Amino acid sequence: MDLNFCFFLMTVLVINLTPGPAMLFVIQESIHSGVKSGIQSALAVEIGVFFYVILTSFGLVVIFNHVPILYKVIETLGVLYLLYLAFLSWPRKKGGINTTHQHQHRKSFIYGVFINLLNPKIGLFFLSLLPQFISPTAQPLWLYFLCYGLIFNFSGFMINIFAALSANYLKNKNSHYGQWIHYISPLIFICIAFIAITRLFI
């Protein structure tokens, strides 16, 4: 196996193991609505990443460099979205955001997609990361970008599934802490949004 590719796999593993809003959302859904919802959310957040994989593969993500205001607008929407998720995930007397499981799973899936869709940093991240591991002489270049991006995508999906299973297991094992666990995710969403706001406007 190519040494460069091995370094890429290690980098992907480290990055995907680093907790962020997407993993937090998956954990929160698994704790709040069960492991099925957590796994579904893991798929949803990776669909958002896949959008940027496609943009990067075909060179469209460079639009952020040429139209910086677009990047700022999407990033600002992302911050507002995190605050919206914090509001939605705040515990309610009747147990959460939705009243039926079917409706709940559908909405959770949409929320998960938009978590990464409204994070333009992912596109610029791919644009800066992938060229470090792909030779400029590799042809067709777009296919290499696509394959490496999909590897990143799949790795993130598997790690988020593990996070969903672990969160659900820990919740069931420590059920007497359940009422407090539900407050952790919205508070962290608020903290992440606050940090993003300081980067945007300060």
What pTM, to 2 d.p., does this model score? Answer: 0.80
Residue 183 is assigned to a structural domain of this protein: yes
Q: Encode pLDDT of 133-180 as tens digits.
A: 887 778 888 898 899 999 999 999 999 999 999 988 887 776 655 566
Cα angle 182-185-186, degrees, rounded to a multiple of 5: 95
Our count of domains for the chain comes to 1
pLDDT for 92: 67
The pLDDT assigned to 156 comes to 95
In a domain, 7, yes or no: no
At 4-62, the pLDDT tens digits run: 888 899 999 998 998 888 998 998 888 888 899 999 999 999 999 999 999 888 887 77
Full residue range of the structural domain in which residue 147 is found: 21-201
The answer as to whether 45 is a domain residue is: yes
Q: Hey, what are 61's tokens?
A: 């993500």
Q: Is residue 104 part of a domain?
A: yes
Q: Residue 183's closest CA among 69, 116, 100, 91?
A: 91
Structural domain includes residue 30: yes
Q: Compute how many other C-beta atoms are within 10 angstroms of the C-beta atom of residue 64.
A: 20
CA–CA distance, 52 with 78 (Å, rounded to integer): 15
Nearest to 118 by CA among 194, 22, 185, 195: 22
